[in-house]
Amino acid sequence: MITFNELKEMQPRLGQLEAHAITLGKSSLSYIQRDRVWYQGLKDEMVRLVGFDSTVMALQYSSCYDVTYQHLINILKI
């Protein structure tokens, strides 16, 4: 199974998304606020980078989407 770090090597912008998620996960934002940020922005960016809409063919697999989704959700604690 592919790891998030391997995905970041193929798409460096995932690292920026991860850094943003880490900042939010460590913030004093409530669960609801973090959830809102996820669904109103971060998830949209993730969808452009991995999964069916990715411009990088190797990242168009659902497994890439799943790994990234789980990784970021865990960081955000939502």
Q: Say whether pLDDT at 23 is over 90.
A: yes
What DSSP assignment string belongs to 6-71?
HHHHH-THHHHHHHHHHHHHHSS--HHHHHHHIIIIIHHHHHHHSSTT-SSGGG-SHHHHHHHHHH
pTM of the model: 0.92
pLDDT at position 1 is: 86
pLDDT at position 58 is: 95
- Structure token pair of residue 55: 């411009």
Task: Please write the tens of the pLDDT for every residue from 27-76.
Answer: 999 999 999 999 999 999 999 999 999 999 999 999 999 999 999 999 99
Residue type present at position 7: L
pLDDT at position 39 is: 93
Our count of domains for the chain comes to 1
